[in-house]
């Protein structure tokens, strides 16, 4: 079997339509990407003006986080747990100890401590407790 009969028998028309569709879609996508390339180049040329590429300066006047009385008590318990660990501790371990100890809402309290920068990250992937900030905000 040769010619158009072979094309019909082996789904040649469907295969060719799918191939043409794939090629056409690829060419349309490529032409749209090329037509918008000038915007990407303008963005790259003016990258110093964008906030994405600016170095963030440390905020000196950070808003203080308000602790509820229950969170203050839970924060004091977190402080005691952090003191039982090494100077540098991992958050999952601290959270696990808090859950075992029965601290109320340990996830929310830990999030508040992180937000208030009482528990800060070191460069090694661990965290430390900032006692001066803890005494200022919680005590």
Q: Which CATH code is given to the segment(s) 69-137?
A: 1.10.10
Q: Answer yes or no: are the C-beta atoms of 112 and 75 closer than 8 Å.
A: yes
As a whole number, mean pLDDT of residues 114-132 equals: 87
pLDDT of 61 over the 90 cut: no
Measured in residues, the chain has a length of: 139
Phi/psi at 96 (nearest 5 deg)? -65, -45
Note the pLDDT tens digit of each residue in 93-117: 989 998 998 888 888 888 888 888 8
More confident residue, 132 or 65: 132
For residue 91, the tally of other CB atoms under 10 A from its CB is 15
Residue 109 has what pLDDT?
Answer: 87
Mean of pLDDT values over 34-60: 78
Q: List the chain domain ranges.
A: 4-48, 69-137
d(CA 29, CA 22): 11
d(CA 7, CA 40): 45
Cα angle 75-81-85, degrees, rounded to a multiple of 5 = 140
123 or 30, greater pLDDT: 30
């Amino acid at each position: 079997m040769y010619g158009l009969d072979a094309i019909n028998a082996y789904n040649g028309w469907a295969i060719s339509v799918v191939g043409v569709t794939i090629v056409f879609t690829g060419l349309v996508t490529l032409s749209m990407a090329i037509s918008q390339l000038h915007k990407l180049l303008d963005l790259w040329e003016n990258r110093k003006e964008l906030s994405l590429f600016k170095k963030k300066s440390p905020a000196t006047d950070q808003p203080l986080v308000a602790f509820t009385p229950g969170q203050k008590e839970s924060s004091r318990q977190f402080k005691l747990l952090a003191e039982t660990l090494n100077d540098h501790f991992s958050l999952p371990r601290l959270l696990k100890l808090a859950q075992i100890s029965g601290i109320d809402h340990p996830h929310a309290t830990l999030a508040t401590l992180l937000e208030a920068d009482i528990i800060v990250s070191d460069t090694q992937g661990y965290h430390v407790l900032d006692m001066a900030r803890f005494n200022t905000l919680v005590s």
